[in-house]
Amino acid sequence: MPSRINHIKLVTPNPGVVNAFLTQVCDIPEGWPLGENDRVVGPDEPLGPGGDMAMEAILEVRNVTGPGGYIAGDPVSRQFQIFKGEPADFWGICISTRHIEDVHQKAKARDIACTPITIADWNERDNIANFFCVVDGLTFEIIRVEPKTG
């Protein structure tokens, strides 16, 4: 068995907001608290400033300075996308779902600014439906891999 990604550690000013996005909007299963928390974010509370987000705004936070990069991993072990840029940073977390339209709608309903859903030509077999959003300063990409038609 190859090595694989186990979990992601996040630091954010409002962890309850990010937890609510992941569990209430993206349908990631509820976990458990780590120590004491300021508050739990309810299912009807806004999670962001709302509005639409242009793809250019997402590209600005990447800080990519080079023309190329690498992908470490494969579709079975998951992937790291590695680009040249400074300062060193994590710029996005990708979540895969079968229900991208539902997640986009729920994110917008909770006042999370999102890019429109677009279709990217990924490989000879598949396209990727995707959108980006920023939740409490963290960039997320929500995707669905789908077979090409026609």
pLDDT digits (tens, 9 = 90+) for 87-146: 888 889 999 999 999 999 999 999 999 999 999 988 888 999 999 999 999 999 999 999
- The CATH architecture one would assign to domain 15-147 is Roll (3.10)
* Confidence check: pLDDT of 2 > 80: no
pLDDT tens-place string over residues 7-48: 899 999 999 999 999 999 999 999 998 988 877 899 999 999
As a dihedral over the C-alpha atoms of residue 134, residue 139, residue 140, residue 145, rounded to 10 degrees, the angle is 120
pLDDT band at 76 (very low <50, low <70, confident <90, very high): low
> Would you say how long the chain is, in residues?
150
CB 20 within 8 A of CB 107: no
Instruction: List the domain boundaries for the chain.
Output: 15-147
